[in-house]
């Protein structure tokens, strides 16, 4: 891999642009981004500001219209197969097989990512304990509550012990107690060197990230640690920064 991974950069975006063919929306408009190994990076921004689009280009699920996006030193999506198993994704939708049980979903995505059968049971057990799903292993996903599905989705993103995880609004629908607990877990992952990129509309959640990127109309209009942002704008919470900068401006609004 390139020099970038040596200096600890795991995600590098340069002048990233995405114009959707359907509708022609300029969803991401010249995004520049650098995320270091072991960092928790939170995207915030109004609905339609381009967070999901940006993340999809990082995971290799979406090709940029122009610009360059490198993940672990590898250009996405052209060489995405080289790093795919090092990336974990919990998309904004649940993205689970509704007819399969929790265990079967985990087994399926683990298999696709090349997790050995012997390791699977252990990994699955560990994750389901953390995500408080142990009693639901044999339940079909369709019979789970919304928050439980979200947790299974997170488990599927982590089952292969990836180096980078993308959680697109991963904690929507998760109750406050569990959410608190998750963030503790995310932090422990980050300390082990796992890089975590999240999007969130919950500002006290964003407050726990190492760095925050605020998006508006496909651009990163503000970036920094939570305290930097608060200081820069002379406010006490990230929420106030968000309200001040996004000010209800939405792409589709």
Partner 1 sequence: MMIAMPAIVMVIFGLALSGEVKNIPILVQNLDVGYEAQAGPGVSISVESGADLAEALQGDDSLRVVTGSYEDGVTGVDDGDYFAAVRIPADFSERLYRRMRGEDVDVVVDVYVDGTKPAIRASILGAVGDSLRSLGDGGGLEVAQVLAFGGAEYSGLDVSIPSVMGFVLTFLVLLISLIIINRETAMGTLQRLYTTPLTAFERLLGYVIALLVLGMMMSGVVLLVGVVFFQVTVRGSFTLLFISAFLYALTHVLLAVFLSNFARNELQAVQLAPIIALPSMALSGMLVPVNSLPDYIQPIARLVPLYYGNRVFEGVMLKGYGVGELSGDLLVISGMAAVFLILAAMTVKDRIDA
Ligand X SMILES: Nc1ncnc2c1ncn2[C@@H]1O[C@H](COP(=O)(O)OP(=O)(O)OP(=O)(O)O)[C@@H](O)[C@H]1O
Give residues in contact with Mg ion (CB under 5 A). 51-52, 92
Tokens 């340069």 — which residue?
14
Q: Are 19 and 27 in contact (CB under 8 A)?
A: yes
The stretch among 30-38, 41-49, 103-111, 182-190 that binds ligand X (CB under 6 A) is 41-49
Sorted by sequence, the CB contacts under 8 Å of residue 119 that are 6+ apart come out as none
The residue (of 166 and 186) whose beta carbon lies closer to ligand X is: 166
The stretch among 8-16, 96-104, 187-195, 245-253 that binds partner 1 (CB under 8 A) is 96-104
3-state class of 54 per DSSP? helix
Per-residue x/- mask for partner 1, residues 112 to 151, rule CB under 8 A?
xxx-------------------------------------
Q: 117, 234, 252, 253: which one contacts ligand X (CB under 6 A)? A: 252
For every residue of 119-133, DSSP letters joined together read: HHHHHHHHHHHHTT-
Q: CA 77, CA 234: separation in Å to the nearest integer?
A: 40
Q: Which does 47 bind (CB under 5 to 8 A by kind): partner 1, Mg ion, ligand X, none?
A: ligand X
Check binding of 50 to ligand X (CB under 6 A): yes
Q: CA 154, CA 22: separation in Å to the nearest integer?
A: 29
Binders of partner 1 in range 56-85 (CB under 8 A) = 56, 59-63, 77, 80-81, 84-85
Which stretch of DSSP H or E encloses residue 71?
strand 66-71
- The beta-strand segments (E) located in 169-251 are 195-199, 211-216, 219-224
Check binding of 91 to partner 1 (CB under 8 A): yes
The residue (of 103 and 205) whose beta carbon lies closer to ligand X is: 205
The residue (of 1 and 249) whose beta carbon lies closer to partner 1 is: 1
Task: Put the strands of the sheet holding 40-45 in their side by side order.
Answer: 87-90, 164-168, 195-199, 40-45, 211-216, 219-224
Residues of this chain that interact with partner 1 (CB under 8 A) are 20-22, 56, 59-63, 77, 80-81, 84-85, 87, 89, 91, 93-98, 109, 112-114, 156
């Amino acid at each position: 891999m390139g020099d970038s991974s040596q200096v600890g950069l795991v995600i590098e975006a340069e002048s990233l642009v995405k114009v959707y063919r359907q509708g022609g929306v300029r969803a991401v408009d010249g995004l520049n981004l650098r995320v270091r190994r072991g960092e928790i990076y939170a995207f915030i921004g109004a609905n339609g500001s381009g967070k999901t689009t940006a993340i999809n280009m990082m995971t290799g699920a979406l090709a940029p219209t122009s610009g360059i996006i490198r993940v672990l030193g590898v250009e996405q999506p052209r060489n995405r197969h080289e790093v795919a198993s090092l990336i974990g994704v919990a998309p904004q939708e649940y993205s689970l097989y509704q007819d399969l049980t929790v265990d079967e979903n985990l087994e399926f995505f683990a298999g696709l990512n090349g997790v050995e059968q012997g390791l699977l049971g252990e990994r699955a057990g560990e994750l389901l304990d953390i995500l408080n799903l142990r009693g639901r292993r044999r339940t079909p996903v369709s019979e789970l509550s919304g928050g439980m599905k979200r947790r299974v989705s997170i488990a599927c993103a982590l089952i292969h012990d990836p180096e980078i995880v993308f959680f697109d609004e991963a904690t929507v629908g998760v109750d406050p107690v569990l959410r608190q607990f998750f963030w503790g877990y995310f932090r422990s992952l980050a300390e082990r060197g796992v890089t975590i990129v999240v999007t969130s509309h919950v500002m006290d959640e964003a407050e726990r990230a190492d760095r925050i990127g605020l998006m508006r109309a496909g651009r990163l209009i503000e970036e920094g640690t939570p305290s930097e942002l608060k200081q820069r704008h002379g406010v006490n919470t990230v929420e106030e920064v968000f309200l001040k900068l996004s000010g209800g401006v939405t792409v589709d609004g």
